[in-house]
Structure 1
Amino acid sequence: MGKTLFEKIWDAHVVEELPDGTSLIYIDRHLVHEVTSPQAFEGLRLKGKTVRQPKLTFSTMDHNVPTDESRLTISDPVSRAQVEALEKNCSDYGITLYGIGDPHQGIVHMIGPEMGITVPGLTLVCGDSHTSTHGAFGSLAFGIGTSEVEHVLSTQTLRQKKPKTFKVEFTGSLPSHVYSKDMILKLIAEIGTAGGTGTVFEFCGEAVEALSMEARMTMCNMSIEGGARAGLIAPDETTYAYLREKERPYAPQGEELERAIAEWKKLPSDPDAEFDRTMTINVSSLSPQVSWGTSPGMTISVDQAVPQLDGVPGYSEEDVSKALEYMGLEPGQRLEDAHLDTVFIGSCTNARIEDLRIAAEILRGQKKADHIRLLVVPGSQQVRLQAEAEGLDKIFTAAGAEWRWAGCSMCLAMNPDKLEPKERCASTSNRNFEGRQGAGGRTHLMSPAMAATAAVAGKIVDIRTWKGGAK
């Protein structure tokens, strides 16, 4: 019997099968940021340990850093302490750091692919749940806890229980104004936020094969929102073209790259491979998706009304009622009738150059609604520089947006970019939990195209039929 993509990577990295049924696996790359690493490094010091493979660990600052001009002088004492701790830890242990002011600084899941740290067939971990992003390259990538960060730093290995496999095939072709963000939100709405628990998704099918690398990263990024340990997409010519596109310092180059590609072509799941679970979604009639509640699983098509209390599979009436109360919505209400305050285009889900190009095309020659605050935050300094070289920043600022420096920004309330209580936000990020973007803040997840359109319309609208016109 053949093997799945996941099984090929897993089996190649098992160091030892342990008596308790778990496996000790080798970790090829370790990414570190300022929030989940201080305790791990302190643990090393207290135990007198060193970093086993410092050249396989890469770090940056993203969660806490301000994205405005105050980024160089962080006022929050906790954030400043974490940033300073990362600087010291990387210096003490010889770890590569892309710090504030470095041209390669950015969200950890953005700079990995940009720098060629992420390539097919690897195991990659980080103290951050959205490490699943890197699975778009056919690498087994997942988030770990702080104690596990310490373990990887000191041993370059990790003890894990082998997950099950979950094949999700997307068939058909995406309609206009519908994107990979809509595909993954649709999946999560179908299976719920626990639907993939204990599994690794493998996304496949003609609709996935047609996606760019940026769009694939968006899908894999939100695998964790579907409860999965990780998400995978088999490497193909799109993957190889991305790696050939320009020099990526940590990726193979020239003939070495071509030899690596020959090996990577062996990674896709064999035709006779068996999965523990399979599912098919046809995207040909898929509509833009928008979350209405306090979980990514609480998502509907933009042309649907907010569901009734008993109309959300997997959630009790109490769950739905509580979510609607928090969000300030009523059953049967249209989302376009809810007052909107803020639009956030950014995060490790949708702050790549492709996302900014999509948003800029909608905002070109337009103005945001007067009552809307519009933040556009590139996910990395490299994306920021490329956007400015293409003149996208001029389009954003002409539309009335705030053009920011790289960072996690309003994805989560760990930096100055926060929502006020009851402030409603159209967001391209990945989570809409209570307080995720600020205490009492109300988050609606959607694609960059939908968010940019909402900024101009001043409310959530269907980009396909909005009277202002979708470009």
Structure 2
Amino acid sequence: MPKWGPFLPEALSLFDKLWDSQVVAALPGGGALVAIDRIFLHERTGASALNALREAGRSVADPARVFAVTDHIVDTRPGRTDKTLMPGGQAFITETRAAANAAGIALFDVNDPDQGIVHVISPELGIVLPGCTLVAPDSHTCTQGAFGALAWGIGSSEAEHAMATGTLRLNKPKSMRVRFSGQVSKGVTAKDMIMTLIARHGAAGGKGHAVEFAGDAVEALDMEGRMTLCNMATEFSAMSGFIAPDAKTFAYLEGRRYAPKDALWDQAVTSWKKLASDADAVFDAEIEIDSSAIGPMVSWGTSPEHSVEIDSTLPETAGDRPLQYMALEKGESLAGKPIDAAFIGSCTNSRLSDLRRASALLEGKKIADHIKAICVPGSSRVKREAEAEGIDKIFRDAGFEWRESGCSMCFYAGGESFEAGSRVISTTNRNFESRQGPGVKTHIASPETVVASALAGAIADVRELL
């Protein structure tokens, strides 16, 4: 090593920079007190967190940094009100409304023009920004790492602590970089990229790590594709997933309601441009994936790691329990497997670009007669913009139901579900047993694959439509 080596500044990863900028104090035992910039609540747990804080004699330290939304159990059928199909669900909504108003925090309520899934509306409004820390009682909060933020899911008690103090105690996770080199082929999306990672390296592959996504294929994605990629970092067991901000990030955020304005915007961009891993940064783990070798993916089992390319067969090593639940066999091909329903929605694939791509394949066609198909926009803004482009008409004419925004049947919480035991192709991020209803067999895939399958009435390869 040259004699001047020790005096050179240390090469840092993006995660190091995000972490170091937010640490308030080192704590005994190796933990750290980390500053929290944004806190999001939803109606399923929001009232309990706010009420528990009040009952403990504490208040929200900075109400301007806390936001609440109705998205998890709100009805998505047209003409909705506070009533939901979930037993007792209306009380969750009304109690969260009362608690949010009492605490003086912003609430994007049932029929607010900016209502929607938290991980969709936060970027739309410019609430998430590069370099910030953002938490919410939802494991898919990591979606927002697409903007160069450190975002992760927490529990209700942690939400109370964050609201009362503006901080959380954390142990620093290890760092990992997943590099998608080269470019993807036609018909392959960000959903297929992240499903490939999880299928190859397991649902626990990122455990204990904060994951930076990088490489040519990641840089080529638009912001909505990057959100899809980061959304499923939690299915990889990562603490969070994130991407270095660039010109696409800045262009997306400029002019958003909560983004900096005028001179502050210029100052912010200057600062944000430094949020990238240094050339010599060292990671605890690195994974390289050849993007050109990725094909359209479909899950076959009860975990996102149970996924294969559409033109492959189920592995001989497949476990008996997921096969039994999904009524499949080792060595079987998914292509051509009849389905009962199709779902486009969730915080993974319900944004405007998802709906545009799906509608382009649907236009002028009809889905199979026996298919129950539903499209749920991720936010009220996405719904309005899609309707302004005529996308809703394309979906309706093809045979899809067109809904209000919300989480909907991404998960079954005692409310609406698909018919018991049915087989569903879905753009959601999870395919656990009964995730979309009692005994429902969920195959997760990209919006394009969902459309191709709905048209065929069976799991189908989208490349045959392109």
Q: Which TM-score band (shorter chain)? A: over 0.9
Contact 2:449 2:460 in 1 (8 A): yes
3-state SS of 2:463 partner: coil
Following TM superposition, by how much is the alpha carbon of 1:77 offset from its aligned partner in structure 2, in angstroms? 4.1
Q: In the aligned structure 1, how far is the partner of 2:261 from the partner of 2:438?
A: 47
Which of 183, 188, 194 does residue 198 from structure 2 map onto? 188
Q: Which residue of 2 aligns with 1:433?
A: 432
Contact 1:351 1:377 in 2 (8 A): yes
- Per the normalisation by structure 2, the TM-score is 0.96
Q: In the aligned structure 1, how far is the partner of 2:126 from the partner of 2:387?
A: 22
Q: Percent identity?
A: 48
Q: Which residue of 1 aligns with 2:225?
A: 215
Following TM superposition, by how much is the alpha carbon of 1:338 offset from its aligned partner in structure 2, in angstroms? 2.6
- Per the normalisation by structure 1, the TM-score is 0.95
State whether structure 2 residue 328 is matched by structure 1 residue 329.
yes
3-state SS of 2:64 partner: helix
Following TM superposition, by how much is the alpha carbon of 1:241 offset from its aligned partner in structure 2, in angstroms? 1.3
Q: What amino acid does structure 1 have at the position aligned with 2:110?
A: I
Q: In the aligned structure 1, how far is the partner of 2:211 from the partner of 2:310?
A: 26
Q: In the aligned structure 1, how far is the partner of 2:54 from the partner of 2:269?
A: 40
Q: In the aligned structure 2, how far is the partner of 1:404 from the partner of 1:143?
A: 27
3-state SS of 2:107 partner: strand
Which of 23, 36, 49 does residue 40 from structure 1 map onto? 49
Q: Which residue of 2 aligns with 1:315?
A: none
Which of 261, 267, 275 does residue 267 from structure 1 map onto? 275
Q: Which residue of 2 aligns with 1:63?
A: 72
Q: What amino acid does structure 1 have at the position aligned with 2:199?
A: A
Q: Which residue of 2 aligns with 1:317?
A: none
3-state SS of 1:290 partner: strand
Q: In the aligned structure 2, how far is the partner of 1:432 from the partner of 1:77?
A: 23
3-state SS of 2:169 partner: strand
Q: In the aligned structure 2, how far is the partner of 1:453 from the partner of 1:253?
A: 43
Structural mapping, 1:2-151, within 5 Å: 2-69=11-78, 71-75=80-84, 76-151=86-161
Superposition RMSD on alpha carbons, in Å? 1.1
Structural mapping, 1:243-258, within 5 Å: 243-244=253-254, 247-258=255-266
Q: Which residue of 1 aligns with 2:4?
A: none
Q: In the aligned structure 2, how far is the partner of 1:213 from the partner of 1:166?
A: 21
State whether structure 2 residue 315 is matched by structure 1 residue 307.
yes
Q: What amino acid does structure 1 have at the position aligned with 2:313?
A: A
Deviations 1:254-284 (A, max 9, x none): 3321221111001101111110000100011
3-state SS of 2:329 partner: coil
Contact 1:221 1:349 in 2 (8 A): yes
Deviations 1:401-422 (A, max 9, x none): 1000000011101364312221
Contact 1:454 1:460 in 2 (8 A): yes
Q: In the aligned structure 2, how far is the partner of 1:385 from the partner of 1:431?
A: 27
Contact 1:166 1:202 in 2 (8 A): yes
Q: Which residue of 2 aligns with 1:203?
A: 213
Q: Which residue of 2 aligns with 1:456?
A: 455
Q: What amino acid does structure 2 have at the position aligned with 1:29?
A: R
Contact 2:46 2:68 in 1 (8 A): no
Following TM superposition, by how much is the alpha carbon of 1:303 offset from its aligned partner in structure 2, in angstroms? 0.3
Q: In the aligned structure 2, how far is the partner of 1:421 from the partner of 1:229?
A: 33
3-state SS of 2:292 partner: coil
Following TM superposition, by how much is the alpha carbon of 1:307 offset from its aligned partner in structure 2, in angstroms? 1.8
Aligned residues: 456
Q: In the aligned structure 2, how far is the partner of 1:154 from the partner of 1:147?
A: 11
Following TM superposition, by how much is the alpha carbon of 1:170 offset from its aligned partner in structure 2, in angstroms? 0.3
3-state SS of 1:69 partner: coil
Contact 1:64 1:415 in 2 (8 A): no
Q: What amino acid does structure 1 have at the position aligned with 2:229?
A: M
Q: In the aligned structure 1, how far is the partner of 2:89 from the partner of 2:309?
A: 38
Q: What amino acid does structure 1 have at the position aligned with 2:303?
A: S
Q: In the aligned structure 2, how far is the partner of 1:2 from the partner of 1:415?
A: 50
Q: What amino acid does structure 2 have at the position aligned with 1:143?
A: G
Which of 278, 292, 300 does residue 284 from structure 1 map onto? 292
Q: What amino acid does structure 2 have at the position aligned with 1:133?
A: T
Task: List runs of 5+ in structure 1 lacking aligned partners.
Answer: 313-319
Structural mapping, 1:368-379, within 5 Å: 368-379=367-378
Q: In the aligned structure 2, how far is the partner of 1:354 from the partner of 1:417?
A: 26
Q: In the aligned structure 1, how far is the partner of 2:344 from the partner of 2:414?
A: 16
Q: In the aligned structure 1, how far is the partner of 2:266 from the partner of 2:454?
A: 44
Q: In the aligned structure 2, how far is the partner of 1:37 from the partner of 1:194?
A: 29
3-state SS of 1:182 partner: helix
Q: What amino acid does structure 2 have at the position aligned with 1:158?
A: L
Q: In the aligned structure 2, how far is the partner of 1:389 from the partner of 1:453?
A: 24
Q: Which residue of 1 aligns with 2:3?
A: none
Contact 2:87 2:415 in 1 (8 A): no
Following TM superposition, by how much is the alpha carbon of 1:96 offset from its aligned partner in structure 2, in angstroms? 0.2
Q: What amino acid does structure 1 have at the position aligned with 2:378?
A: G
Q: In the aligned structure 1, how far is the partner of 2:338 from the partner of 2:362?
A: 20
Following TM superposition, by how much is the alpha carbon of 1:339 offset from its aligned partner in structure 2, in angstroms? 2.2
Q: What amino acid does structure 2 have at the position aligned with 1:183?
A: M
Q: In the aligned structure 2, how far is the partner of 1:26 from the partner of 1:57?
A: 14
Greater Cα offset, 381-390 or 29-38:
29-38
3-state SS of 2:293 partner: coil
Following TM superposition, by how much is the alpha carbon of 1:70 offset from its aligned partner in structure 2, in angstroms? 5.2
Q: In the aligned structure 1, how far is the partner of 2:217 from the partner of 2:329?
A: 35
Task: List runs of 5+ in structure 2 lacking aligned partners.
Answer: 1-9
Instruction: Quickly say closer, same or farther: Cα 1:70–1:328, change in 2 above 3 A.
Output: farther
Following TM superposition, by how much is the alpha carbon of 1:337 offset from its aligned partner in structure 2, in angstroms? 3.9
Contact 2:336 2:460 in 1 (8 A): no
Q: Which residue of 2 aligns with 1:351?
A: 350
Q: Which residue of 2 aligns with 1:408?
A: 407
Following TM superposition, by how much is the alpha carbon of 1:355 offset from its aligned partner in structure 2, in angstroms? 0.1
Contact 1:65 1:415 in 2 (8 A): no
Q: What amino acid does structure 1 have at the position aligned with 2:152?
A: F
Structure 1 consecutive aligned stretches of length 4 or more whose deviation exceeds 4 Å: none
Q: What amino acid does structure 1 have at the position aligned with 2:406?
A: G
Following TM superposition, by how much is the alpha carbon of 1:238 offset from its aligned partner in structure 2, in angstroms? 1.0
Q: In the aligned structure 2, how far is the partner of 1:348 from the partner of 1:4?
A: 27
3-state SS of 2:142 partner: helix
State whether structure 2 residue 187 is matched by structure 1 residue 177.
yes
Deviations 1:417-458 (A, max 9, x none): 312221111000100001111111110010000001111111
Deviations 1:172-192 (A, max 9, x none): 111000000000000001111
Q: In the aligned structure 2, how far is the partner of 1:109 from the partner of 1:414?
A: 19
Q: In the aligned structure 2, how far is the partner of 1:41 from the partner of 1:255?
A: 35
3-state SS of 1:371 partner: coil
Contact 2:33 2:167 in 1 (8 A): yes
Q: What amino acid does structure 2 have at the position aligned with 1:401?
A: F
3-state SS of 1:336 partner: coil
Contact 1:60 1:98 in 2 (8 A): yes
Greater Cα offset, 266-275 or 215-224:
266-275
Q: In the aligned structure 2, how far is the partner of 1:345 from the partner of 1:77?
A: 25
Following TM superposition, by how much is the alpha carbon of 1:29 offset from its aligned partner in structure 2, in angstroms? 0.5
